[in-house]
Structure formats: C-alpha cells, structure tokens
Amino acid sequence: MLLITAFAILTVVIFLINYTKQQKEAGFAHSTTTAGIGLITTSFPGAIQQTLDLLTVSSSGTNWAQLITGFLLVFLGLSMSFYIKNKLSILNLLGAKEKRINDHHKELGLNQFEFKELEIDLSRFSKKPAMNEERFLEAKESIEDKMRSFNAEEVIKGYTGTAPIPLTLMAGYYHKGKPVKNYYEYDKNDKKYRRLRKQPRFSKVSQNVLMTEPEVNTLPNTRDVVLAVSTTMRITQEQISQFDAPVVELYLERPDHNQIFTLKQLKAHTRAITQKLTELSQHPGVERIHLIMATQSCLPFEVGQLLTTESYMKEITIYHYVSTETPYYPWGITFTNKGPVLREWKKEPIFNV
C-alpha cells in the first residue's frame, strides 16, 4: 500500500509539472507510464507480506490482473510518448492568397492526426489600406505572440507561408525555438504543395548557385547600399530606381518559381545572403543595408533567423514590393540593435549623402 501511494503521488507530481509547462499530452503520457510501473511493482508480494505468509503458512502470490494492467499502461504511455515526440507542428504565415496545409495534407502524405497547423493570419496586411505604424504594431504583436507558442513546442517543426516578405523575415527573426526541419512550398503551376527534399534532384546543383554582381570590394565608400536577391524573377533596375545607392545583386541565372526544391539549396542560399550582409556591413562607410527579395517564402524566414544586427551586422531594412504603386517599395521593416521598426518610404526616402 505504501508503494502504491508513493507512485500515485509521483504520478500526480509529474503530471502537474508537465501541465504547468503547457505539455498536457506529454504529462498524460508520463503519468500513464508511471502508473503502469507502479502497478507492475506492487503486483508482487512485498517483503512484509512474504514474512506474514511464512508465519501463517500461506501464500499471497502475484496479482496477475494488476500486473497485466500495469504492462498495458506502460505500453500505452510509451506509445503516446513516441507519438508526441514525432508529432509535426507546421507554422503557416497566411498572406493575400491563403493556402492551408490542412487542405493539401493527402498530397504530402500527411495524416490529419500527425500534424497541427499554427496559423498567423497576415492576409489583411497584404491589402489596402497601406501599412502604417498602427497596423505594423498590430502585425508585430500577432507575430510575437504566435511565435512564442511555436517556439515552446518540443515537436518536429515545419514551415510554409504566403505573407509579405518583410513580415515573413520578422517571423523568422522571432523564431528562437527548435530548428525547423520541414519546409513546404506551394507550386503555382501544379497547384500542389511540395516538401523541400533532403537530396538534390539533379547531379549538377551549380545551376542553382547565387551569382554576385558586382563584387563588394568594387563599391565606393557609401552610407547606403542595396542588396537585391532574385530567385523567382530577376529584380530590374527600374524597380529599384527609387534607391539613391549602389546595388549589389545576388541572383540565379535562371530564376523561376520553386527553384528552391531541396533543403541543401535553401541552406546554401541563406548562407550566401547572410555572408553578403556581413561583407556589406564591413565595407567602409556603410551604415544602412536595404534588402530587396524576389524569392520563395522559405528563404526570408531562414534569413530572419540569422540576422545579427545586435552585433556585427549594420542596420538592415527589408522591403515590401507592390507592382501597382509608385515607388514600388512603399514600406519595409528595419532591424537594428533595438529590434524591428516600421520604415515608410514617404516619410524616410533614401538619399545617399
């Protein structure tokens, strides 16, 4: 009886600890396993009972019903723990064209019970009215709140999204939890989701290497510099003519939608961009870097996780493109050692003086 009481108390303590950490499923799994172990242990006669049996010339024997129940509870608890450990949580940044993994789970080979989709609805910030300080703070608060929940989950992480690139990069900036393992990109041509694979499709991956033009060491001393990254389509000089600053391009020779189809490419492109940001930050006179991206959503999310404006990167502003407006990039988000803030072009145009 004493052992049963001790195991019962231990079970309650483990459950409460996990519950307070917002891990209800894990708490229940651990509690079930612990309860099963307790039943198994106490199903055999203890030392006191064995002594009494000797004195009374009797035999209590094993409580087989309790033993079997204990093994069943242990099996159930361990099975739940394995399920929880391999559960998938997919972050979805919803943009103007809302796409949900839940509507496409079959084509990805996902069971509806294997994953949950954590949505951050940013679609209203993709449309009019234009971004202003009030709307920016609303978006920032929403992203910070949902990213805290996403960061706290000790499960396999996934990502997809169609939100504006500056908001996507900011979400990546606030991602401080377990690394994202699975990336899902929507193929506009096939109207299907595809998961970035681990291995390249072709033997020659050099075709998808980001080219640089011009080299940073050829730039004059300058306060402002533009870094234009093109993987889905080549950013034109007309589109970035609003910036009175030298331009460095990182681009694919053959840009197109869904040109990033492997994790290896994603990591390589992310590394190339962050290295170029660091290189530009060390160039004489540079104080501000203006980042323009025409890419898949996964790339700015990855870059956001590696921004280090608190230390060796200079001030970086990532801009939102609107094809029907003049100028084409009406607003962006600036990252400094004080965190992200809104930059509205009409209030802060760039003049390189």
Q: pLDDT band for position 44 (50/70/90)?
A: low
- Within the chain, what is the greatest distance between any pair of CA atoms? 102
What pTM was computed for the model?
0.76
By mean pLDDT, which of 74-88, 132-146, 209-223 is the weakest? 74-88
CA nearest to 109, candidates 192, 224, 37 = 192
| Residue that wins the pLDDT comparison between 66 and 328 | 328
Q: Can you give the pLDDT at residue 290? A: 97
**Residue 350, pLDDT above cutoff 80:** no
By mean pLDDT, which of 10-14, 63-67, 173-177 is the weakest? 10-14
CA nearest to 224, candidates 288, 293, 297 = 288
Q: Can you give the pLDDT at residue 153? A: 87
| Strand segments (E) across the chain | 88-94, 115-121, 156-161, 180-187, 192-195, 211-213, 224-230, 247-251, 288-294, 315-320, 331-336, 339-344
CA–CA separation, 150 vs 163, rounded Å?
A: 17
Q: Can you give the pLDDT at residue 60? A: 52
309 is written with which tokens? 């404006």
Q: Can you give the pLDDT at residue 311? A: 76
Q: How far from 74 is each of 36, 42, 43, 64, 87, CA to CA, in Å?
A: 5, 14, 14, 15, 20
Q: Which residues contact 198 (CB under 8 A, 6 or more apart)?
A: 262, 263, 264
Q: Can you give the pLDDT at residue 248? A: 95
CA nearest to 304, candidates 193, 196, 168, 150 = 168
User: Do residues 231 and 260 lie in contact, with contact meaning Cβ atoms separated by under 8 Å?
Assistant: yes
> Cα dihedral sign for 242, 246, 250, 251?
positive
Mean pLDDT of the chain: 82
List, for residues 298-310, the tens digit of each pLDDT value: 999 999 999 987 7
Mean pLDDT calculated for residue range 26-51: 63
CA–CA separation, 51 vs 350, rounded Å?
A: 90
CA–CA separation, 146 vs 159, rounded Å?
A: 13
**Residue 116, pLDDT above cutoff 80:** yes
Q: How far from 119 is each of 93, 103, 153, CA to CA, in Å?
A: 6, 13, 14
DSSP 163: S
Q: pLDDT band for position 19 (50/70/90)?
A: very low
Residue with tokens 């939608």: 257
**Residue 353, pLDDT above cutoff 50:** no
Q: Can you give the pLDDT at residue 15? A: 47
By mean pLDDT, which of 103-117, 132-146, 321-335 is the weakest? 103-117
Q: Which residues contact 69 (CB under 8 A, 6 or more apart)?
A: 36, 39
CA–CA separation, 165 vs 301, rounded Å?
A: 8
**Structure-derived torsion over alpha carbons of residues 193, 199, 204, 210, reported in degrees to the nearest 10:** 60
- CB crowding 255-286: b at 16 or more within 10 Å, else e: beebbbbbbbbbebbbebbbebbebbbebeeb
**Residue 78, pLDDT above cutoff 90:** no
CA–CA separation, 31 vs 13, rounded Å?
A: 9
| Residue that wins the pLDDT comparison between 147 and 5 | 147
Q: Can you give the pLDDT at residue 52? A: 44
Q: Under DSSP, is residue 47 helix (H, G, I), strand (E, B) or coil?
A: helix
What is 228-276 written as a DSSP string? EEESSSPPPTTTTTT-BS-EEEEE-SS--TT---BHHHHHHHHHHHHHH
Q: Can you give the pLDDT at residue 62? A: 65
Q: Can you give the pLDDT at residue 143? A: 96
**Residue 47, pLDDT above cutoff 60:** no
Q: Can you give the pLDDT at residue 234? A: 95
**Residue 11, pLDDT above cutoff 70:** no
Q: Can you give the pLDDT at residue 24? A: 54
Mean pLDDT calculated for residue range 270-289: 94
CA–CA separation, 197 vs 266, rounded Å?
A: 10
Q: pLDDT over 90 for what percent of the chain?
A: 47
Q: Can you give the pLDDT at residue 58? A: 46
List, for residues 205-243, the tens digit of each pLDDT value: 445 789 998 999 899 999 999 999 999 999 999 999 999
- Highest mean pLDDT: which of 33-42, 86-95, 297-306? 297-306
